Amino acid sequence: MTVTPLGIPRRLLEFTVDGEPVRVPEGSTVLDGCRAAGKDVPTLCQGDTLRPRNACRVCVVEVEGSRTLVPACSRRAEPGMEVRTGTERARHSRKVVLELLASSVDLSTTPGAAEWIKEYEAKPDRFGPDAARLNEEPRVDNELYVRDYGKCVLCYKCVDACGEQWQNTFAIAVAGRGFDARIAVEHDAPLTDSACVYCGNCVEVCPTGALSFKSEFDMRAAGTWDESGQTETTTVCAYCGVGCNLTLHVQDNEIVKVTSPHDNPVTHGNLCIKGRFGYQHVQNRG
C-alpha cells in the first residue's frame, strides 16, 4: 500500500503575479507562486531539498512597496502582494547577474545557463579580456569526486548539504571573503585529510557541475560523456535495510553515475558512500 503523506492542511493565500491572481498554500514562497502561475523565473542557488540561501540573486522580482528587488526563492508569499516578474528593472538585474557570473566562472555545465544568457541578452565579454576570473585547475585528490573551482558560483548548497541540513558532517565551509571566498575544508587541505565521508550529497545538489563524479569528469575529459545516450533507472539500494532509491545512469551498458530522486520522502536525494559509489561489482563481468 502506498501511503501518501497529507501533512497539516494549510490555508490558501492569494496574491498577484504580473497582474494575475495566484493561490498558494500559506508558507509558500514567491517563487512557488510564480511557478504555479507558469512564470519562468531562473534560479541557481535554490535547491528543492534545501532551505533557500538567496545568494545568486538571479531569481529577483519586483514586489510593490519594496525598495529593492526581492529574491523570489526565499521571500514568503503574503496575501495581497503584487509581484512582477518581467519588468525592465528585474530583467536588468538578472541580466547583469548572469554577466557577472559568466564572466567570472565557467557555466558550460550549468543546466539552463546558456538559454538564460540568450534570453536576457547578457554579454559576459563586455568586461574585457582582463576581467578577473576564477581560473583554477580542478582538484582531483580522491577517487570518487572532483572539485572544479572554476565552475563554482558559491551557492552554498554543498555546504548546507554537508552540514546541518542533511549530512551533519561539516567537512566543508565557505572560507575567505569577497571575490576570494571559496568552499574549503579546514586549511584548504586535500579532501582526504578532512572530515569528508564521501556520501556525495554535495555532488547531488551542485547546480553547476563544479562538483562532479570522477567517472563523469574523466569521461567528459576523454570526450566520451554522452548524456543523450544515457538511460536512467531508479531502483532500490541493496546494501542495507533503509531502502534508499538509486537512479542509475547507464551509458553503453555501464553505470556512469548514481543519483537519487529528490522527491523521495525519506531520503530527499541523499545517499551514503556505498549507495552512491559502490556499484563496481554490478559491472564486474569477470
Partner 1 sequence: MDLHFGDSKPTDEERAAVDALLGPPESSWEGADRTDADLRWARGGRAARDRRDLLLPGLHAINDRIGWISEGALGYLCRRLTVPPAEAYGVATFYAMFSLRPRPATVLHVCTDLACTAAGAGELCAGVEARLGPGSGVHVERAPCLGLCERAPAALAIRAGDPVRTAVAAPATIEAAVGAASGPDSAPEEPPAGRAVPQAGQEELLLLRRVGVVDPSSLDDYRAHGGYTALRRAFELGPAGVIREVTDSGLVGRGGAAFPTGRKWQATASQPDQPHYLVCNADESEPGTFKDRVLLEGDPFALVEAITIASYAISAHRALVYIRGEYPRALHRLRHAIEQARARGLLGDDILGQGYALDIEIRRGAGAYVCGEETALFNSIEGHRGEPRSKPPFPVEKGLFGRPTVENNVETLVNVLPVLEMGAPAYAAIGTGASTGPKLFCVSGSVERPGVYELPFGATLGELLRRAGVREGLRAVLLGGAAGGFVRPDELGLPLTFEGTREAGTTLGSGVVMAFDDTVPLPRLLLRIAEFFRDESCGQCVPCRVGTVRQEEALRRIVDRTGAGAAGDIALLREVGRAMRDASICGLGQTAWNAVESAIDRLGAYE
CB atoms within 10 A of CB 173: 13
Only one of the segments 7-15, 97-105, 143-151, 272-280 lies at the binding site for partner 1 (rule: CB under 8 A); that segment is 97-105
Q: Per-residue DSSP letters for 94-150? A: HHHHHHHHHHHS--TTSTTHHHHHHHTT--GGGG-TT--------B--SSSEEE-GG
Which run of H or of E encompasses 251?
strand 245-251
Residue 85 contacts residue 20 (beta carbons within 8 Å) = no
Quote the DSSP letter at residue 85: S
88 binds partner 1 (CB under 8 A): no
Only one of the segments 10-18, 25-33, 95-103, 258-266 lies at the binding site for partner 1 (rule: CB under 8 A); that segment is 95-103
What residues between 235 and 254 interact with partner 1 by CB under 8 A?
Answer: none
- Pick the closer one to partner 1 by CB: 98 or 246: 98
Q: Exposed (0-12), middle (13-18) or buried (19+): which is 137, by Cβ within 10 Å?
A: exposed
Size of the site for partner 1 (CB under 8 A): 53
126 binds partner 1 (CB under 8 A): yes
Minimum distance from residue 286 beta carbon to partner 1 (Å): 37
Minimum distance from residue 270 beta carbon to partner 1 (Å): 16
Given 50, 107, 122, 185, the residue binding partner 1 (CB under 8 A): 185
Give residues with Cβ within 8 angstroms of 53, minimum separation 6: 45, 46, 74, 155, 156, 157, 160
- Pick the closer one to partner 1 by CB: 68 or 228: 68
Using CB under 8 A as the criterion, which residues of the chain lie in contact with partner 1 when the complex forms? 54-58, 60, 68-69, 71, 74, 76, 89, 92-93, 95-97, 100-101, 103-104, 126-128, 130-132, 153-154, 163, 168-181, 184-189, 193-195
